[in-house]
Amino acid sequence: MVFKCAEPVWFPSVQLENTDVSRLIAKVPVAVTDVEHSPQTVTGTHGGGLDLEDVTPEDQHKGAPVDDHTFVSSNSDFAFSLYKQLALKTSNENVIFSPLSDSMTLAFLSLGACGPTLTETLEGLKFNSQSPETEIHQGFQHLLQTLGRPSDQLQLSVGNAMFVQEQLKLLDKFREDVRVLCASEAFSTDFRDSDTAKKLINGYVRNKTQGKIVELFKDPDKLTEMMLVNYIFSKAQWKKPFDPSRTYKSEFHVNKNRTVEVPMMTTGGLETPYFRDEAACTALELRYTSDDSAPFILPDEGKMHDLEAKLLPQTLRRWRDSLQPRVTDVFVPRVFITGNLDLKKTLSYLGITRIFEEHGDLTRISRHRSLKVGEAVHKATLKMDEKGTEGAAGSGAQTLPMETPFKVKINKHFLLMIRENGMNNLLFLGKIVNPSGR
């Protein structure tokens, strides 16, 4: 049996033919296998949809979520811990992923875990063992609702879906928890007919992402019992867009011995948050019209590994608190990269192992089956260019008349984060070694 969980993929509710400033997609399948591999006939589960707006006060679980500071700190800790493991394996390659997508999917899965398997998963997500499970899940519920609020400036939507083998009987508690806490839709699926299951799931995701994710998975395993899908898509415009007529060809240093030619975007006299850490790096933050932001972290020569080792929640807070407005001439390469990550081994380095093992306990999903996660794969795409949606140039930054602009040219490897301003969670995190992705 395979249990697949696909991570958040952000998608807009507008036509995607328009060129946008930042387009990010993430999807993560996690496969779960039946330990016994024995067929059982049980009552089928039928699907129903639920939007975030449909979660009424009556649906809310009682109690308060983990406080925002603790919740964001745990998510950031998980993000940086996961990044460090990925960077160890890909020191000279691009890295791009959605840490929030990974954490939301694992939290979704943890609703079905028990005992040491549950404890290990939540601790792997960097939540304190003393934090009540209910408060953690309410924190993710609150995050889903925060990200799902309508905005004129940021086109953003988040959702979950659950595809369940027709004969698998889910426990009522699990079904209700994922409905209320994860706002998950549920669909009855015949995975034994793999072609039909493939069309159903890929069609659902393609529709939700406005056609941007065409094929979530290619070869569904006929032993699959359940697949979790968490999709996120984000489309935002810079507060001050780059002028395409000023973009020019420039060299980007992939390493000491190799350069590639990339389109270099530029804008002059931009007042932008800036910080210089004399020990390791320069930090520059570009803002979106929604006031969400994209921090760029530029390591000093030969300091990337040192910088990566220092990535901690408190480091990010210190950088953010140290940012000061400065008039800057900014040079940033266009970016179009994709990432395909197998997270099963990586998550084990973070202490998350039991969900992949026969002795793991996922019996809060169904008491009739012994389930385990067989696969955890993350796929993400980042596209960043000059233009926003129509009317993006409406709110530009100003040059201070008596100040000489400072020059920041990003022409070698750097760290890039996409941060939402509601709770300051990291939506995407990456290392750009080659902006062209080649």
Residue ranges per structural domain of the chain: 3-237+336-383, 244-333+390-432
Could you report the per-residue pLDDT of 297-323, keeping only the tens digit for each?
Answer: 999 998 999 999 989 999 988 999 999
Amino acid in the structure at residue 3:
F
Give mean pLDDT, residues 382-391. 57
Answer whether residue 295 shows pLDDT above 90: yes
Q: What is the pLDDT of residue 9?
A: 32
Strand partners, 418: 428
Q: Does the pLDDT at position 48 exceed 60?
A: no
Query: pTM of the predicted model, to two decimals?
Result: 0.81
Which CATH class name applies to 3-237+336-383?
alpha beta
Rounded (to 5) percent helix, strand, coil in the chain: 25, 35, 40
CA distance 187 to 182: 15
The packing angle between helices 68-89 and 313-322, to 10°, is 110
**Per-residue pLDDT, 59:** 44
Is the pLDDT confidence value at 296 over 60? yes
Phi and psi at residue 186, in whole multiples of 5°?
Answer: -135, 135
Report whether pLDDT(409) > 80.
yes
Cα separations in angstroms, 2 against 5, 31, 35: 10, 5, 10
Residue 404, token pair as written in the block: 């000489």
Whose tokens are 């996922």? That residue is: 362
Question: Which is nearest to 21 in space by CA: 415, 402, 391?
Answer: 391
- DSSP letter at 363 equals T
Chain position carrying tokens 């995050």: 143
Looking up tokens 């006939």, which residue turns up? 41
Of 326 and 219, the one with more pLDDT:
326
Nearest to 270 by CA among 319, 316, 332: 332
Asked whether residue 383 carries a pLDDT value surpassing 80, the answer given is yes
Using DSSP's 3-state secondary structure scheme, residue 68 falls into helix
Per-residue model confidence (pLDDT) at position 74: 93
Strand 293-299 vs strand 281-287: parallel, antiparallel, or unpaired? antiparallel
CATH architecture assignment, domain 244-333+390-432: Roll (2.30)
Q: Which residue, chain included where needed, has tokens 């952000």?
A: 10
C-alpha torsion sign, points 380, 381, 382, 388: negative
Q: Residue 333: what residue type?
A: P
Is residue 436 very low, low, confident or very high in pLDDT (cuts 50, 70, 90)? confident
What pLDDT band is residue 81 in, cutting at 50, 70 and 90?
very high
